[in-house]
Amino acid sequence: MPTTLTQAHLKLLELCPRRFQHTYLDRLIAPVNPDMLQRQQWGTQFHQIMQQRDLGLAVDPLLQQDPHLKAAVEGLLTHAPDLFIDPDPGLRQSEHRRSLPFHGYSLTVVYDLLIVTPQRGQIIDWKTYLKPPRQAQLAQEWQTRLYLYVLAETSDLPPDRLSMDYWFVQPQGATLADAPPSRVSIPYSEAAHRRTDRDLRRLTQTLTHLLASAEPLPQVDEAQGLCGTCPFAVRCQRSSDRHQPPTPISLPAVADIAEVPL
């Protein structure tokens, strides 16, 4: 039974409990498209460079080997220099992890960058993705909701002093002129905090109930149209190839999975 719940767990659980089971309980995964895998690995590299840079480790040798990575990092430093200044007084930390006990689970977040001053708290997330989604769409993502919820519950600042900023940097192959870094900022509020609290209670209660049963976790209604693009469609008998045997593959440790662009 999973005790740790991340935004990825919540997202799949809400999308389709059976898919949550295949991914996190049965530890199965479908083969990843090689182009997607390359993009994910590049995104992971970008995150590692940003973290190493913050830790004061030398990143120049790595950047010299990859001009796209160098352009992406330098573009961000040029467009958002304030993000790289330590507040005084305050906290500024890369890859900042927090956990919050919640009804038998541990809600866990890892912020790419967290900046907290006596006046405000700012979560920064790097995305190596060319077309930023709309603010309204990002505000509904479990990543946004969980990250802000956990920060509000673990700091002295009220929700309306918190925000989450997504910074979109040009992915591998795009130039700075094509796609300069851009920011989508999501403000937080007491009302949003209450909504997330309610939805987290609902989801965790549902999960506890489902896990207590000997039955497989339920499949989503086929009429919702999610199965057609699901990698487990054959396994779930929801594919036109349903007579072919499924091909399960063992899932690597979650920590080894590359960054998935939003």
Binding of residue 16 to ligand SF4 (CB under 6 A): yes
Question: Least separation, in Å, of the C-beta of 210 and ligand SF4?
Answer: 13
Among 62, 226, 257, 262, interactor with ligand SF4 by CB under 6 A? 226
Candidate ranges 47-55, 145-153, 195-203, 229-237; the one touching ligand SF4 (CB under 6 A) = 229-237
Query: Does the protein bind ligand SF4 through residue 230 (CB under 6 A)?
Result: yes
- For 115-145, give the DSSP string: EE-SS-EEEEEEEE-SSPPPHHHHHHSHHHH
Q: How far is the CB of 11 from ligand SF4 (least distance, A)?
A: 13
Q: Indicate whether 49 belongs to the interface with ligand SF4 (CB under 6 A).
A: no
Pairwise CA distance, residues 238 & 233, whole Å: 5
Residue 24, interface with ligand SF4 (CB under 6 A)? no
Residue 13's DSSP bridge partners are none
Cα–Cα distance measured from residue 211 to residue 206, given in angstroms and rounded to the nearest whole number: 9
State the residue for tokens 């870094």: 181
User: Rule CB under 6 A: is residue 9 a binding residue for ligand SF4?
Assistant: no
Residue ranges in 232-251 that form contacts with ligand SF4 under rule CB under 6 A: 232-233, 236, 238
Residue number, 86 or 221, with CB nearest to ligand SF4: 221
Determine the Cα–Cα distance for residues 94 and 60; give it in Å rounded to an integer: 19
- Per-residue CA distances from 159 to 97, 122, 180 (Å): 19, 11, 30
Is residue 155 within 8 A of residue 163, CB to CB? The reply is no
Write down the least CB distance from residue 232 to ligand SF4, Å: 4
* Least gap, CB of 202 to ligand SF4 (angstroms): 19
Q: According to the binding rule CB under 6 A, does residue 23 interact with ligand SF4?
A: no
Token pair 């999960």 is found at 207
- CB within 8 Å of 115: residues ≥ 6 apart: 83, 87, 90, 91, 92, 121, 122, 124
Q: Would you tell me which residues interact with ligand SF4 (CB under 6 A)?
A: 16, 18-19, 22, 219-220, 226-227, 230, 232-233, 236, 238
